[in-house]
Structure 1
Amino acid sequence: MSDWTAADMPRLDGKTIVVTGANSGLGFEGTREFARKGATVVMACRSVERGADAADDLRATTAADLDLDVRECDLASLASVREFAEGMADDYDALDVLCNNAGVMAIPRSETEDGFETQLGVNHLGHFALTGRLYPLLTAADGIDGRARVVTQSSGAHETGEMDFSDLNWEESYGKWKAYGRSKLANLLFAYELQRRVDGDADPTLRSVACHPGYTDTNLQIRTGEASGNPLMKVGMRVANAVLGQDAATGAEPMLYAATADVSGGAYVEPGGLMNMRGHPTVGRSNDASYDRADARRLWEYSTDATGVEFPFDE
């Protein structure tokens, strides 16, 4: 069983790391540990106000001088993603690590600003567009070990996902948990396909690594309960978090490990404890559907068309 913790991360002085959803939960704890090790952490948040409050909290509760840069990035808006990336290009020469961490879970059907079903739009398409737009900064970086890294946060719920390309945006029918599972499967298809396409370059410039946090006590579950409109579900989520969930600091470890440890591109980092839902990080394997290359290529083509974002190796 793994005993790796955030204390085992190397120093990250001079490194720049973007964390989406950095103002709460896994992103908040990941930001703390990256910055504690000396990195400049760009906190990409939907709400700048909440991001600034989180940065103040981190500085007040961490015994270190943290270098934090709070910026607006609403993954439900392709325009916001573009503006965030343009601002990064104006102010930074390189980006060593991108953590595609933010997400929504099992919410009633709604659509993003661009007309995508929100879970697919935020969890996958927003991060696809963000990665593509930040790609020049990633390829300009020294990274952790000579290559930049893209870390994409999935979930054990990917095992319930199914790619139905005839109705990706759930316009014909909608199941909130099935939609969440599909978005998390899409995260993995993207992460592995990105690595395959990078490997096809004559000079591979980054590593794409996927991870999942296990069952972790964060406000993601609470927001799911609130969005359901069912008070009993909200109470149930709180009880489940208290009884089953590990703390957010431990839940952030797979992301930290994927970003900084010696892992191969295309790896899948997960908790190494009970049913891979608790404990310290280890390299594991996601389900067979996540390695379906035909689905991955089809999703990539759809995502390129839907977002209008092309990666350099696709041009």
Structure 2
Amino acid sequence: MVKTRLIPLALLLAALCALFLLWNLRAPVSFILSLRFEKLAALLLVGAATGVATLLFQTVAQTRLLTPGIVGFDALFVFLQTTLVFTLGGIGYVTLPPFAAFLAEAAILIVAAVALFGIVLRKGASDLVRVVLTGVIFGILLRGLASFMQRILDPSEFAIVQQASFASFASVEADQLGVAALILGACVVLAMALASRLDVAALGRDTARSLGLHYDRFVLAVLALVAALVAVSTALVGPITFLGLLAASLAHALLPTHRHALLIPASGLIGAIILVAGQFIFERVLAMSSTLAVLIEFLGGLLFLMLILRRRTT
């Protein structure tokens, strides 16, 4: 049965978590375990949330080629970091309270995404293509503004912006993890509750409406969930654009089903597996300090090109 394929994924994730926590563990054990547990929690939360968000977004967008990052989440995050450094200076930026900055960034990202979806989809969810096109243009505009401000910054301030522009799991605070876990956990539970209606929505707007689903209202609700998942994840560690594409594509490949009650947990498990396994190999096995997000973006970009080329040949 397809359902039984979730069990190996869960067991693999549990084994990777144990390896991540216990590999080459030395004294002081309690202190090192606390640090590793915080990083592991961030990896699990971001991986699961990003995988689930991408699957939901692809369902309502009726395509497996897109990720929520295409709407401009990553560009908005980089623009926010650049603006803060530009206005406050390098010293002012690094002295910001981490928890307050996290809440502010998450709130801004959620409000911006919901505003974009609400304004562009005023004529109904059938106009979802405009969301994608508007998001692309919105992202290009923000990247251009951020690049302009970065050219004016001092080299030391520019280095701060560059460091903040890549996803990092080394500087996550415990209080941030608590708030993120509550929000992301609630969103995933709600997504699971909507699984049966997502199955209907995946059939298309006309078919879904003929089956009694209030399609336009439902799509807006799902997009609000996607906005919350991606915004909180991005505010917590930074942008990872193609992680969700990898997780959702692997979920569809491993579970040949259209049931979202199975695809949602599979995407979350695979997203978490990718991050935990990648961070374990980079940090524990290879002892490298490179950013894991760079490798994920490279592999995700290759997968994106492969999906486009396959679509053109079929």
Shorter chain as denominator, the TM-score bin is under 0.3
Higher relative contact order (Cα pairs below 8 Å, separated by 6+ residues): 2
Larger proportion of helix: 2
- TM-score under structure 2 length normalisation: 0.28
**Bigger CA radius of gyration:** 2
Compare the two structures and name the one with the higher strand fraction: 1
